[in-house]
C-alpha cells in the first residue's frame, strides 16, 4: 500500500486539480489564484480549475478544502483573513477548522500592503499632521475599512493604538464600498488594500499618507511607509497563499512549492503584480507553515483589542 501511495504522489497530477478561492471573483485572492493556476497548468500539464466559493470571510471555502481528500487534487487559496484572523474573530470554540492542524500549508503567494488614505479636501499633507490634529480633537475624524476584523481595520487599529489617538471606525461591506464613500467625501479616510485604492491615489481622488509595506514602493515613491514614520510594528500585507487538506503527500507539497516559487518570479507575473505592491513569497513549505503560526499569534491581541466581531 505504501508503494502505491508513493507512486501516486510521484505521478501527480494525473487529472485536473481543483483550486478553491474562498472569495468572490475580481479580488486579490482571485487574481493570484488564477495567475498561478494558469502557470501551473502550463508547466505541469494538467488543468488547474479555479472555483470561487465565497462566504464568511473565506471560511466557507476553506472548510470545504479542510474536509477534502488529501490527494493533491483539491487546493485552496488561503490567506491572512481565513487563517489568521477569522478563527480569532469568531470568538467561538465551534469554528469549523483549525488553521494549522487541518491544513497543509504549501507556498506563500504574497499580497498587497494596506494604505491609509484621506480625502484630498482635508488639510493634512502627512500622517504626523493627522496625528497632531487627532490628538487635539479626539473622535473628530473617522475612517472606513472593508469591514470589521479585516486587515484594513486591524492595521488602522494598530496604528491608532500605537499613535494614541481616537478616530472613529466605519466598517463597510467590502473594500470598494469604503473607497467609493471616501471619493464622495462621506468619510475622512480609509484603511484599505493598495489593490483597491491604487488607481484613486494615482488619479488624485485620494491622498495616501502611509503604506504598510517594508519599504517605499517604486510605483508610489512619494508615499512613506508606516515604519519610516515611526511605526515599526506596522509592516503588514494582506497575504494570500496555497494550501491543501492536512496530510498531503510530501512529494506533492515539494513539487507545488517549487513550481509556485518559480511562477511568481516570472517576468510577466512580476510585472502584473508590481502596481499592487505585491512582493512574491519565497518560503519553503516548512517556513511558510511557521509564518502562518506567527501571523496567528501576531494578530490575535490586535483582534481582541479592536473589539471586532463577525459582521
Tell me the pLDDT tens digit for each residue of 271-302.
999 888 898 999 999 999 999 999 999 999 98
User: How is the chain split into domains, by residue range?
Assistant: 15-111+239-306, 114-211
Highest mean pLDDT among 5-9, 100-104, 194-198: 100-104
C-alpha cell at 301: 491581541
Q: Give φ, ψ of 64 to 5 degrees.
A: -60, -45
Model pTM? 0.86
Max Cα-Cα span within the chain: 71
- CA 56, CA 24: separation in Å to the nearest integer? 11
Strand partners, 77: 242
Q: What is the mean pLDDT of residues 112-135?
A: 97
* CATH class (in words) of the domain with range 114-211: alpha beta
Assign 3-class secondary structure to 277-288.
CCCCCCCCHHHH
- CA 42, CA 37: separation in Å to the nearest integer? 9
Task: Report pLDDT digits (tens) over 190-242.
Answer: 999 998 899 999 999 999 999 999 999 998 999 999 999 999 999 999 999 99
Q: How many residues does the chain have?
A: 311
Task: Report pLDDT digits (tens) over 38-91.
Answer: 999 999 999 999 999 988 888 999 999 999 999 999 999 999 999 999 998 876
- How far is the CA of 80 from the CAs of 10, 83, 103, 238, 256, in angstroms? 31, 5, 14, 6, 20
Structurally, what CATH architecture does the domain formed by 15-111+239-306 represent? 3-Layer(aba) Sandwich (3.40)
DSSP state of 105: E
Yes or no: say if 187 and 170 are a contact pair by the CB < 8 Å rule. Answer: yes
Amino acid at each position: 500500500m505504501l508503494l502505491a501511495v508513493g507512486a501516486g504522489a510521484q505521478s501527480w497530477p494525473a487529472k485536473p486539480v481543483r483550486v478553491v478561492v474562498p472569495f468572490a471573483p475580481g479580488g486579490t485572492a482571485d487574481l493570484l489564484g488564477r495567475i498561478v493556476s494558469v502557470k501551473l497548468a502550463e508547466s505541469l500539464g494538467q488543468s488547474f480549475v479555479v472555483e470561487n466559493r465565497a462566504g464568511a470571510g473565506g471560511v466557507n471555502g476553506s472548510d470545504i478544502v479542510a474536509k477534502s481528500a488529501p490527494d493533491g487534487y483539491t487546493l485552496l487559496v488561503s490567506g491572512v483573513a481565513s487563517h489568521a484572523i477569522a478563527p480569532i474573530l469568531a470568538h467561538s470554540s465551534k469554528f469549523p477548522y483549525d488553521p494549522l492542524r487541518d491544513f497543509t500549508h504549501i507556498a506563500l503567494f504574497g499580497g498587497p500592503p494596506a494604505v491609509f488614505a484621506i480625502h484630498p479636501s482635508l488639510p493634512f499633507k502627512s500622517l504626523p499632521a493627522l496625528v497632531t490634529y487627532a490628538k487635539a480633537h479626539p473622535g473628530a475624524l473617522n475612517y472606513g475599512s472593508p469591514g470589521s476584523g479585516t486587515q484594513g481595520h486591524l492595521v488602522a487599529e494598530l496604528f491608532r493604538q500605537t499613535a494614541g489617538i481616537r478616530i472613529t471606525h466605519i466598517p463597510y461591506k467590502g473594500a470598494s464600498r469604503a473607497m467609493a464613500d471616501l471619493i464622495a467625501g462621506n468619510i475622512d479616510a480609509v484603511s484599505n488594500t493598495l489593490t483597491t485604492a491604487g488607481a484613486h491615489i494615482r488619479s488624485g481622488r485620494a491622498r495616501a499618507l502611509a503604506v504598510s509595506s517594508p519599504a517605499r514602493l517604486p510605483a508610489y515613491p512619494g508615499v512613506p511607509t508606516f515604519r519610516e514614520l515611526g511605526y515599526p510594528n506596522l509592516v503588514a500585507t494582506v497575504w494570500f497563499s496555497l494550501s491543501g487538506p492536512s496530510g498531503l503527500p510530501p512529494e506533492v507539497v515539494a513539487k507545488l512549492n517549487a513550481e509556485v516559487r518559480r511562477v511568481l518570479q516570472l517576468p510577466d507575473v512580476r510585472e502584473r503584480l508590481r502596481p499592487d505592491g505585491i512582493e512574491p513569497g519565497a518560503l519553503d513549505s516548512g517556513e511558510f507553515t511557521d509564518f502562518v503560526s506567527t501571523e496567528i499569534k501576531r494578530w490575535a491581541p490586535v483582534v481582541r483589542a479592536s473589539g471586532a466581531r463577525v459582521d
